[in-house]
Amino acid sequence: MKICVLVKEVPDAAVQKRIDPGTMRLDRSGEKNLNPFDTHALEAAMQIKEGGAIPVEEVVAVTMGPDSAVRALHKAVALGADRSVHLSDEALAGSDVCATGYALAKVLESESPDLVLLGQQSDDGECYTIGAVVADHLQMPSLTQVIKIDVTDGKLRCERQAEYGYDTVEVALPAVISVGDAINEPRYPSLKAIMGAKKKPLDAKATGDVGIDAGQVGAEGSKTAVLALNPPPQKEAGEIIEDEDTNETVEKIVAWLDERKLI
């Protein structure tokens, strides 16, 4: 089978993120990195491939983003993907969740995967939703925040935490699964894999190459619009006690708890 792993380039966690006031979009010019949540999806793909319960011919990393997103694909390939696909087009800039999910579904459709894996969220926009959007477009079953995948009889047996405890769900292929970070401990790429990453095939695709209707993507094709950005309400600073005499500190804490009827 063929596994496609959706990956995303996100600003480095160490870089202060900011919104460009002109466009109201995230300023993506900072240092870039592979979304850490996506490394768990790549690792899950590699474990399925290496596990042998189902033959995996190919693991393909797929991303949508500007030219710089190639770096995220190189990292994905260094972590084990056999090749990568980069959907990049000016027309996609400013796409919201609805438009992004549609565009990703179209590029995935061109790969006809048996399984699409992705991380449960991205480190920037914090959208937990993309997997389910993509799945409905692809008309595939889907499950998010999965923390265990077993392949048996050509089906996936998945576990996750839901509202009332752990759910075990059987999912037929093809399917779209987003994984939680508790699913595995991603491997580190070897130096050899990092060095070889740029030599693995990378297909660049534009919207027209995968049949994306330009009217449904980009800021113009989006169904939400950011109207304003405001600072969050400031919470009044709390009281601070420096612990010098612990008995006294404890007395103060107990009094504070007592005042609020917490003990």
Secondary structure (3-state) at 151:
strand
190: tokens are 């070897």
Single-letter amino acid, residue 114: D
- Please list every residue from 215 through 244 that binds another protein, using CB under 8 A: 216, 222-232, 235, 237-243
**Residue 53 contacts another protein per CB under 8 A:** no
Give the pairing type, strands 2-6 and 19-20: unpaired
**Closer to another protein by Cβ: residue 199 or 260:** 260
- Least separation in angstroms between residue 206's CB and another protein is 22
DSSP structure string for 181-197: TTS--PPPPPHHHHHHG
**Residue 137 contacts another protein per CB under 8 A:** yes
- Residues 177, 146 contacting (CB under 8 angstroms): yes
- Residues 112, 60 contacting (CB under 8 angstroms): no
- Please list every residue from 180 through 219 that binds another protein, using CB under 8 A: 180-182, 216
**Residue 23 contacts another protein per CB under 8 A:** no
**Residue 14 contacts another protein per CB under 8 A:** no
DSSP state of 9: E
**Closer to another protein by Cβ: residue 66 or 128:** 128
Q: CA–CA separation, 139 vs 137, rounded Å?
A: 5
**Residue 102 contacts another protein per CB under 8 A:** yes
- Least separation in angstroms between residue 202's CB and another protein is 27
- Least separation in angstroms between residue 89's CB and another protein is 20
Residues contacting another protein: total by CB under 8 A: 84
